[in-house]
Chain A
Amino acid sequence: MEWVQQLINGISLGSIYALIALGYTMVYGIIKLINFAHGDVFMVGSFIGFYAITGFGLGFVPALLLSMAACAVFGVLIERIAYKRLRNATRIAALITAIGVSLLIEYGVIYVRGAQPEAYPNVFPNATFDLFGAKISSQSLFILLISVGLMIILQFIVHRTKIGKAMRAVSHDIDAARLMGINVDRTISATFAIGSALAGAAGVIFGIYYTKIEPLMGIIPGLKAFIAAVLGGIGIIPGAMVGGLVLGVAETVVSALGFSLWRDAAAFIILILILIFKPSGIFGKNSREKV
């Protein structure tokens, strides 16, 4: 029974990593940029949800949608202001800019509201269900459903819509796509919008599941999501989902074996191992591209 419970714990944690990792992977797939500010968009999304619920008295779904919309705009703004002019610069320049943007968001939020943590309001009835003797709270069930739902929607957008087709084309070859009449700027903006909206949703879900939010909360989940993306094969959407879930379960297993202090270390050991043995990730084909 303990293991069923641990599996549920791992999947809940993993689905949050997966939601953040999707944004990383999409942006990387299209402009080959590791957007380190992504974890901070997640944090901003969490705070928007928090203020929407406590300040405007919104329910969970409206707060989630508001946070996703605001984060989409925020993501596009970041791209326009900070990354667009660096599109033809070296990749290291863009990476350093991303780190700068990340710090700017973190300390910008601290400047505006202070560094003290906030407790997320409880918007779900606190029911628990029994599954083979393991307890599942209604919250973790909702989180799972919402995460899976969002991922399905994303798959649909990427494979069945026009903008999705454009994304795949730009990701494949940016110049050829431009020659074919695809508006590259708009496609990149759409990628940032969708990726950031997912990060915003993850932020709200994280707040509800883990209660405590604070301005530096994006750093560790951001890094973990990055590991998840690399693990699954960076640039590959199903890879990010699988990578996130695998990482969440792996971390939980490490804690479950009694090595809770090694949990973060385990995640980074996974990153190192995957970079040594299969840098293209679980779903990646062998290519010369390395992170």
Chain B
Amino acid sequence: MIKGKFTKFLLASTLFTGILAGCSAGGSSTSGGSSEDVIKIGVNFELSGPVASYGQSNAKGVELAVEEINEAGGIDGKKIELVKVDNKSEASEATNAAIKLTSQDKVTAIIGASTSGNTVAQAQIANDTKTVLLTPSGTSPNVTVNEDGSVNEFVFRTSFIDPFQGTVAANFAAGELKAKNAAIFADNASDYAKGLAASFKETFEAAGGKIVAEESYVAKDTDFRSTLTRIKSENPDFIFIPGYYEEVGLIVKQAREMGITVPLMGGDGWDSPKLVELAGAEALNNTFITNHYSAEDPDETIQNFVKTFKEKNDGAAPDAFNGLGYDSVYLLKDAIERAGSTDSTKIKDALADTKNLRLVTGEVTIDENHHPIKTTTVLEYKDGKTVFKTKVNP
């Protein structure tokens, strides 16, 4: 009896929600009849939740770019209108937000999400609704390329992909630092670090170098001395340490204490003020990272961006996520202008044809896998501060 009642209740409530949903969809479609002089762009970021700092940084960059473009008269005379949603750092929320943006708000393109996982969650919707999806900072290769090797037609990214950083680091080690024997000490718990380590090894060996030690650690470890002792006994003249700042900070400190003085290098996972606190400024001397860009880069485009960003944000220097968010808007603007239309399919084709577009985080050419081929910046730590070292082209 109770069971029966419950089923009825469930049925009734499901029906009711259905009606509600119908109503809200109907309501928005009337208001969604957008006027022709506005380009609606959805922004789907991690504005709250565990990785909120990435999403918020991206969003600030996006907003700055839109403000600039609108002040300068918009794209072909049309102003950009942002529709901002928060995916709460959750894949399911990211999907819901993408459904809302494409069906209710009928946006021309979506910028987001900040992380690879939350972007992949929207990929299917972007392809089905033929809406361009552009992630500023999702670095995993499988954001744009599916497991079977097919490319997600409508999905693009502004950042370089993970393995690329390993390649750049290997070229830098072999070329600029003249390293012959390198060791790799990678975080075994992260795909990011494993991707970097694999591409580093491949490129370094191709350049004639030798990998003398390959060791791994697990995130949350605190004692790296025994493994470092082992690495030291192999006498490498360069150590590649892909991983995140929490462990890397300790590794760098402990390595220097053990008397390892050779150059150490890692990827953008090192980029955090916490790294300097953990390792100590002195231990970080003679270490290098690959990153999306450097605020100290003398390049004019970058310096203009840094200046306007500081003006709008109380003097705070823009980080890589700000730069990538900013660039995403300009990448889209360029594609819309070349497409000469706000039709998503045409924008998609134009995006895929992007060549040598000068942006803050590098000069971008989109390849057939929708990965941007772009310059990477190599930074050096000097007394706890990152110093622009060089730019490396792929």
Question: Which A residues have a C-beta under 8 Å from some C-beta of B?
Answer: 1-2, 5-6, 9-10, 12-13, 117, 119, 122, 126, 128, 135, 137, 139, 210-212, 217, 220, 251-252, 255-256, 258, 260-261, 264
- Does B223 lie within 8 Å of A258, measured CB to CB? no
15 contacts between A and B (CB under 8 A): A2-B233, A9-B225, A12-B225, A13-B225, A117-B274, A117-B278, A119-B274, A119-B277, A128-B259, A135-B259, A210-B222, A211-B278, A256-B226, A260-B216, A261-B217
Interfacial chain B residues near A256, Cβ < 8 Å: 226-227, 229-230
- Does A210 lie within 8 Å of B223, measured CB to CB? yes
B249 on the interface (CB 8 Å rule)? Answer: yes
- Does B246 lie within 8 Å of A117, measured CB to CB? yes
- Does B226 lie within 8 Å of A252, measured CB to CB? yes
Number of interface residues of B (CB under 8 A): 26
Partner of B227, one of A126, A220, A255: A255
A223 smallest CB distance to B (angstroms): 13
- Does B226 lie within 8 Å of A255, measured CB to CB? yes
- Does A5 lie within 8 Å of B216, measured CB to CB? no
B324 on the interface (CB 8 Å rule)? Answer: no
A205 smallest CB distance to B (angstroms): 13
Taking each of B223, B233, B258, which has the highest tally of chain A beta carbons within 10 Å of its own beta carbon?
B223
B188 on the interface (CB 8 Å rule)? Answer: yes
B218 on the interface (CB 8 Å rule)? Answer: yes
B280 on the interface (CB 8 Å rule)? Answer: yes
- Does A212 lie within 8 Å of B249, measured CB to CB? yes
B215 on the interface (CB 8 Å rule)? Answer: yes
Assembly CA distance A126 to B188 (angstroms): 30
- Does B258 lie within 8 Å of A135, measured CB to CB? yes
Interfacial chain A residues near B250, Cβ < 8 Å: 210-212
B257 on the interface (CB 8 Å rule)? Answer: yes
Interfacial chain B residues near A135, Cβ < 8 Å: 257-259
Interfacial chain B residues near A12, Cβ < 8 Å: 225
- Does A2 lie within 8 Å of B259, measured CB to CB? no
Assembly CA distance A135 to B228 (angstroms): 12
Having A135-B259, A211-B278, one finds 13 other A-B pairs with CB under 8 Å, namely A2-B232, A9-B223, A9-B226, A10-B226, A12-B225, A117-B278, A119-B274, A128-B257, A211-B249, A251-B226, A256-B227, A261-B217, A261-B218
- Does B218 lie within 8 Å of A5, measured CB to CB? no
What are the 9 closest A-B residue pairs judged by CB atoms, nearest first? A255-B226, A119-B277, A252-B226, A9-B225, A210-B222, A2-B233, A119-B278, A260-B227, A135-B259
Chain A residue with minimal CB distance to B257?
A: A137
B157 on the interface (CB 8 Å rule)? Answer: no
A190 smallest CB distance to B (angstroms): 32
Partner of B249, one of A119, A251, A260: A119
Assembly CA distance A139 to B254 (angstroms): 11
Instruction: Give B273-319 interface residues, CB cut-off 8 Å to A.
Output: 274, 277-278, 280
Interfacial chain A residues near B225, Cβ < 8 Å: 9, 12-13, 252
Assembly CA distance A217 to B259 (angstroms): 27
Instruction: Give B200-240 interface residues, CB cut-off 8 Å to A.
Output: 215-218, 220, 222-223, 225-227, 229-230, 232-233
Interfacial chain B residues near A13, Cβ < 8 Å: 223, 225
Assembly CA distance A251 to B226 (angstroms): 9
A187 smallest CB distance to B (angstroms): 35
Interfacial chain A residues near B274, Cβ < 8 Å: 117, 119
B253 smallest CB distance to A (angstroms): 6
Assembly CA distance A5 to B277 (angstroms): 26
Assembly CA distance A210 to B215 (angstroms): 20
